[in-house]
């Protein structure tokens, strides 16, 4: 087996600093590690999609229609408690699909506080959303400043809605192979040009990532001393960008000609056949019933 010290990104140094100082990773190291992490996540998603969980056994078209229906329902829900119940349902589906709950929750909640929370945070203040102040924050220019109940409720509604929507999308993408997902989109009459652009963009993302990783690895292998000047790094990035676009253009033409010569006409195809079975009908009926119940409960709470 590979020794543990070879798996570490940097050797541990003595705390007293007598044998050297720890250096911060440069942009080359960060680019290499970021590309490797992206490839690992993609391969992990393929492994999850190949398991025998609940959602993995469903027809991709039925799964797409059911989850999109739940997404539309989540967009019209107006109460936080109903959205929380719908989010708990996504956790049950993730567990039934043999997904790690730690992985599932982490993928969702790591991004919500960074983006949605920053957007809705000003709306919780009484200077934006008037109402009863629950958390006083002092005074500003002689006026009371604090968090209002109405603002906190609106912020919680937006955050839970985004969390539920991202969880549903994550369930669809993680449990469905990319080729079957494209075939399912084509099966529900999504335009062929959209499928073509989406499929090629996904494919070229990994080609470009591999090319960038190879270029940075070659540069690092040929560097004897550390480049202390940022100008040299910026010059290398600028020169590499031009070469990368040239390689991407040549690669796109070669791949397109190879696909056309093998009978490609713009339709996404997969090795497995898409068949609607009894389990798919049950899932679709359960998704429809859940949508009706969620909308009904939400309307009852609104009275």
Among 233, 177, 165, 221, smallest CA distance to 44 is for 177
Residue 287: pLDDT band with limits 50, 70, 90: very high
- In this prediction, what percent of the chain has a pLDDT beyond 90? 22
Cβ–Cβ under 8 Å, residues 302 and 79: yes
How far apart, in whole angstroms, are the C-alpha atoms of residue 219 and residue 212?
11
Is the Cα dihedral 240, 209, 267, 185 positive or negative?
Answer: negative
Cβ–Cβ under 8 Å, residues 264 and 196: no
How far apart, in whole angstroms, are the C-alpha atoms of residue 148 and residue 144?
11
Residue 76: pLDDT band with limits 50, 70, 90: very high
Does residue 303 carry a pLDDT above 70?
no
Q: How many CB atoms lie within 10 A of CB 187?
A: 17
How far apart, in whole angstroms, are the C-alpha atoms of residue 62 and residue 168?
14
pLDDT of residue 1: 47
What digits encode the pLDDT tens for the residues 156-213? 888 899 999 999 998 998 888 888 888 888 888 888 888 878 877 777 777 777 777 7
pLDDT of residue 121: 83
Tell the burial category of 251 from Cβ atoms under 10 Å away from its Cβ (0-12, 13-18, 19+).
middle
pLDDT of residue 244: 77
Cβ–Cβ under 8 Å, residues 204 and 210: no
What digits encode the pLDDT tens for the residues 83-139? 999 999 999 999 999 888 888 888 888 777 667 777 888 888 877 788 888 877 877
Please provide the DSSP assignment of 186-226 as one string.
HHTT--HHHHHHHHHHHHHHHHHHHHHHHHHHHHHHT--S-
**Highest mean pLDDT range out of 16-20, 140-144, 181-185, 195-199?**
181-185
pLDDT of residue 11: 47
When the pLDDT of each residue in the chain is averaged and rounded to a whole number, the result is 78
Higher pLDDT, 244 or 93: 93
Backbone phi and psi for residue 190, each to the nearest 5 degrees, phi listed first: -75, 140
What radius of gyration, in Å, describes the C-alpha atoms of the chain?
25
Using left for φ > 0, alpha for ψ between -120 and 50, and beta otherwise, residue 22 falls in: beta
């Amino acid at each position: 087996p590979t020794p543990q010290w070879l798996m570490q990104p940097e050797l541990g140094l003595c705390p007293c600093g007598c044998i050297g100082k720890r250096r911060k990773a440069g942009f080359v190291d960060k680019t290499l590690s970021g590309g490797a992490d992206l490839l690992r996540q993609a391969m992990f998603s393929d492994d999850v999609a190949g398991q025998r969980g609940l959602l993995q056994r469903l027809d991709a078209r039925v799964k797409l229609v059911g989850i999109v229906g739940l997404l539309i329902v989540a967009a019209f829900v107006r109460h936080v408690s109903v959205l929380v119940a719908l989010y708990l349902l996504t956790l049950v589906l993730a567990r039934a699909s043999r997904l790690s709950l730690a992985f599932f929750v982490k993928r969702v909640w790591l991004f919500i506080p960074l983006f949605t929370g920053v957007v809705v945070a000003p709306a919780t203040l009484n200077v934006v959303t008037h109402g009863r102040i629950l958390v006083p924050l002092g005074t500003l220019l002689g006026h009371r400043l604090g968090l209002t109940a109405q603002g906190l409720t609106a912020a919680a509604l937006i955050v839970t809605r985004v969390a539920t929507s991202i969880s549903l999308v994550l369930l669809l993408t993680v449990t469905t192979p990319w080729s079957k997902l494209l075939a399912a989109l084509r099966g529900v009459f999504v335009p062929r040009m959209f499928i073509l652009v989406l499929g090629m963009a996904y494919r070229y993302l990994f080609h470009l990532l591999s090319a960038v990783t190879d270029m940075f690895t070659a540069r690092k292998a040929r560097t004897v001393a550390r480049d202390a000047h940022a100008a040299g790094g910026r010059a290398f990035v600028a020169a590499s960008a031009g070469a990368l676009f040239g390689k991407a253009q040549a690669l796109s033409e070669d791949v397109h000609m190879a696909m056309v010569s093998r009978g490609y006409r713009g339709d996404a195809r997969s090795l497995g056949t898409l068949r609607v079975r009894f389990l798919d009908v049950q899932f679709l009926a359960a998704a429809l019933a859940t949508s009706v119940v969620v909308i009904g409960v939400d309307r009852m709470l609104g009275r």
